[in-house]
Each structure stands twice: as C-alpha cells, then as structure tokens.
Amino acid sequence: MTGERYSRQELFSPIGRAGQEKIRSARVLVMGCGGLGSHGASLLARAGVGLLRIVDRDFVELSNLQRQELFEEADAAGPIPKAVAAARRIRAINSEVQVEPVVADVDPGSVLSLLDGVDLVLDGLDNFEGRYVLNDACVQRGRPWVYGACVGSTAMATLVVPGETPCLRCLHRELPEPGAGDTCDRVGLIGPAAALAAALQVAMALRYLVERKAPPVATLICSDLWDLRTERLVLPPRDALACPCCALRRFDFLEASHRSATALCGREAVQVRALSAHPPDLAALAERLRGLGTVRSNEFLLRLVVPPYELTLFQDGRAIVKGTGDEALARSLVSRWIGV
C-alpha cells in the first residue's frame, strides 16, 4: 500500500525511492496552522513526511474556512483548537504520518522546546514578531526553516538554511514599524494565494529533505495570482560579518521579555498569557461562570460570552478576549472572570 500511495512522487526522478525514504523519516514542525500552515501540513502529510508537529495558539472560526485547508464547519461550531482539528484531519488523510498537535503560543519561552527533534520548520505564522523569534531559534539550533507569506493576491516563500543562506536578520535587521505593511485584515486574502504560498514552501521543504543542502542560489519566489505574475528574486549573500543573528550570534528576540498581553493583528482581540503554572480546571470554571453569561466548554477550551466581550480560555491557561484591542482591559477581564 505504501509503495502505491507515493508511486507518482517516486517517479519524479529528483526524489525517487531513495528520496521518498528520506521524506518518510523526516520530522517537520509546522509553526502556525492558518492559511499557510493548514495547506502546508496537508501537502506534507500527503507527501508522506514521517512526523508532523503542528503548533497553533488559536481555535477554528467560520471566517477561516475560506482559505484554511484542513477545517470544516463542525470544527468552527465546536469550537476546536486549530492544531487538534488539523491533526484529526491529517490522520484521516494519511494514517502513516505521526501527528503531534500542540495548542500553544510561539514565544521566546516555548520556541526552543518546540524545535526539539525536528529536521525542518515550516513557517505558518501571521506576524513578524513571531518570525523573528523563530529565526533566532532556528539559527541558534541550526534548523532550516521555510519562510512563507500571503496577503491579498500575493504569495511568497524562501528557504533559510543557517550558515548557508541569508537569515531573516541578514535581510531585515529590525522588525517593521507597525502598519508598515499590508495585512490580510486590511486588504484581505484570496484562498489561492494562501494555497500557492504553502505549495512553494512545501516544494522547497521536500527538496531540502531529499538533498539536505540549500540550493546554489538563495531566492525569494513572489507571485501575484490576480495579475498572473511571478518573480524569482535572487537574495544577497549571507552577511557573515555583521548580521546580529547568524554572524554575531546575538539572539535579541529570544532574549526579549515576555508580554503578559498582546493585541492580535486586525481582530479586535487580545491574547493574555497564563500567569499561573497550574492548568485551569475547565469543567469547574464552566460551572462557576454560568451566572455571568453564556458558557460553552469542551475538553480543549472554555468560552464565556458576556456582550460585548467573548473570552476563550485554553488548557495551557492562555485566554483570548474578543471585543477589545485594549491590553489592560483584556487583562482586567481575565482577572475578574477567571481569577488570575
């Protein structure tokens, strides 16, 4: 059955049977499971990657279904964490793939442990800060990662191999100013752009997993699906003398202090990090909160709706408060209702 499943992929001469065995033994971390990560995880599972560790902090919403491959209406109705819903679907797509869903945020405190034991990282993040943290971690650990981005009708991807290609800080020393670039919440995103960006990423990932080296020239592929235009941009060489990260080994974003609350881009929502080391008792909290508003809970999360706010509490103690972009107010609501 295994040979038949991957027969067309093995007929592609740069992969062949030997390359398929390398793919089968590979362990890949999918960091974020939205438009990029869900398509990417699906393609990697279908290609036969041995292990997928899927990390996402969020839950499935109805607005995700337009561009996020692995989810359906029942997941949004649950609601189900994206990592859990993705893992369920992947197991149905390819039972040979080992899947590790992780419902967690990517931050300086968690990212290094998430890299343990993986051969490559697929970037499915939706913010620049997370990518700079990921770049620091991958350079420190020597893990290759595939950058991807999509907004509007554009899609882009590039492979970062520490020590061989330019890293993110070789190309952009500092985080862009807030509002400096377009976001999908401001200009939208068509589903094919997310699918194409992920396809480019996975093609680069498969080539690396088979060849275990960077291509001779580092390139950024950038496509606009509305204008039917694709560009192959040759990137400058790695800055082996002055890059703060891959040359000077300064990991500024890994060493940044943790913020207790973070506004989520374009969503009028704030994520409040867990302040207690103990996981919440979701069932007990659900009973206690029923007098405050509408409460729904399952084994993964608890949701409390007290108009105009909606609070979602996860097993790791994080909460997402919708209905405000004010971080202080969100922290206050979590403290008032959850008691931390």
* Residue 22 backbone dihedrals phi, psi, to 5 degrees: -65, -40
Q: What's 59's DSSP letter?
A: B
The radius of gyration of the chain's CA atoms, rounded to the nearest angstrom, is 20
Q: Closest Cα to residue 336, out of 258, 316, 319? A: 319
* 184 is an active site residue: yes
Tokens encoding 129: 């800060």
58/282 Cα distance (integer angstroms): 17
Question: DSSP characters for 279-317?
Answer: PP-HHHHHHHHTTTSEEEE-SSEEEEEETTEEEEEETTS
Handedness of CA 172, 175, 179, 181 (dihedral sign): positive
Interior/surface letters 190-201, b for 16+ CB within 10 angstroms, e for the rest? bbbbbbbbbbbb
Q: Closest Cα to residue 40, out of 149, 128, 136, 118? A: 149
State the virtual CA torsion across 177, 180, 182, 183 in degrees, nearest 10. 20
Tokens encoding 298: 């399952």
The amino acid sitting at 240 is A
Question: DSSP characters for 179-204?
Answer: TSS--HHHH-B-HHHHHHHHHHHHHH
Cα–Cα distances in Å, from 70 out to 18, 32, 41, 80, 296? 29, 13, 9, 12, 23
Q: Which of 184, 222, 243, 245 does the annotation list as catalytic?
A: 184
Cβ contacts of 153 within 8 Å, gap of 6 or more: 190, 192, 193, 224, 225, 226, 227
Could you list the active site residues? 184
